[in-house]
Amino acid sequence: MRAKYSIGVVASLLAAATAALAAPCPPVVTALAAKVAALRGLTSSFAPPCTLVAPAGLPRELDRKLRHDLPIAPEEFIEALVRSGFVDGDPSTIYKRLLDFYSSQVLGFYEPGADELVVVNGPGAAQAESSLVWAHELEHAVQEHRFHLPSRLLAMRDDGDEQRAASAVAEGEAMLVMFLVTTPSADAAALEQAERAVREQAHALGTPTGVPAYFVADLVFPYTVGFSAVLRTYRAGGWPAVDRLLARPPTTTSELLHPDRTAPPGRVAAAQLPPAPAGYEEVLTDTVGEWGLAFLLGRPMDARQADALAAGWDGDRLRLARDKADPGRWALAWRIQARTVAARGELENALRRELPGLLVHLAPPGAPPLSWVASGRTLEVRAAWPTGQRRPRSPS
Query: Side by side, which strands form the sheet with 370-375?
Result: 280-286, 313-323, 330-338, 378-383, 370-375
Q: Which domain holds residue 121?
A: 11-251
Mean pLDDT, residues 359-364? 97
**Whether residue 20 is found in the same domain as residue 106:** yes
What b-and-e string marks burial along 141-177, b requiring 16 or more CB atoms within 10 Å of the CB? bbbbbebebbebbbebeebbbbbbbbbbbbbbbbbbb
Domain boundary residue, one of 202, 222, 251? 251
- What percent of the chain clears pLDDT 70, i.e. is strictly above it? 90
Is residue 92 in a domain?
yes
Domain boundary residue, one of 251, 284, 307? 251
**Whether residue 33 is found in the same domain as residue 98:** yes
Is residue 200 in a domain?
yes
**Whether residue 349 is found in the same domain as residue 201:** no
Is residue 1 in a domain?
no
- What percent of the chain clears pLDDT 90, i.e. is strictly above it? 64
Q: Of the given ranges (86-90, 97-101, 128-132, 191-195), which has the lowest mean pLDDT?
A: 128-132
**Whether residue 294 is found in the same domain as residue 224:** no
Torsion sign (Cα): 141, 144, 149, 151: positive
pLDDT on residue 123: 63
Is residue 256 in a domain?
no
Query: How far lies 352's CA from each of 169, 191, 386, in Å?
Result: 34, 43, 19
Is the pLDDT at 396 greater than 60, yes or no?
A: no
**Whether residue 77 is found in the same domain as residue 136:** yes
Mean pLDDT, residues 206-234? 93
pLDDT on residue 4: 44
Round to whole Å and give the CA distance between 65 and 372: 39
Q: What is the pLDDT of residues 32-68, one digit of tens each?
A: 999 999 999 887 778 888 888 888 888 887 787 778 7
Is the pLDDT at 245 greater than 60, yes or no?
A: yes
Is residue 388 in a domain?
no
**Whether residue 185 is found in the same domain as residue 289:** no
Torsion sign (Cα): 231, 102, 212, 164: negative
Partners of 22 in the β-ladder: 51
* Mean confidence (pLDDT) of the chain: 88
**Whether residue 116 is found in the same domain as residue 167:** yes
By CB neighbour count within 10 A (0-12 exposed, 13-18 middle, 19+ buried), where does 304 fall? exposed
Number of domains into which the chain is organized: 2
**Whether residue 181 is found in the same domain as residue 316:** no
**Whether residue 358 is found in the same domain as residue 209:** no
Is residue 15 in a domain?
yes
Is residue 259 in a domain?
no
pLDDT-derived band of residue 173, with 50, 70 and 90 as boundaries? very high
Domain boundary residue, one of 251, 282, 305? 251
Maximum distance among all Cα pairs of the chain, rounded to whole angstroms: 67
Mean pLDDT, residues 16-30? 57
Cα–chain-centroid distance for residue 395? 30
**Whether residue 222 is found in the same domain as residue 287:** no
Q: H-helix or E-strand containing 375?
A: strand 370-375
More confident call, 158 vs 172 = 172
**Whether residue 194 is found in the same domain as residue 329:** no
pLDDT-derived band of residue 116, with 50, 70 and 90 as boundaries? confident
pLDDT on residue 57: 82
Is residue 309 in a domain?
yes
Report yes or no: 384 and 363 within 8 Å, Cβ to Cβ: yes
**Whether residue 193 is found in the same domain as residue 327:** no
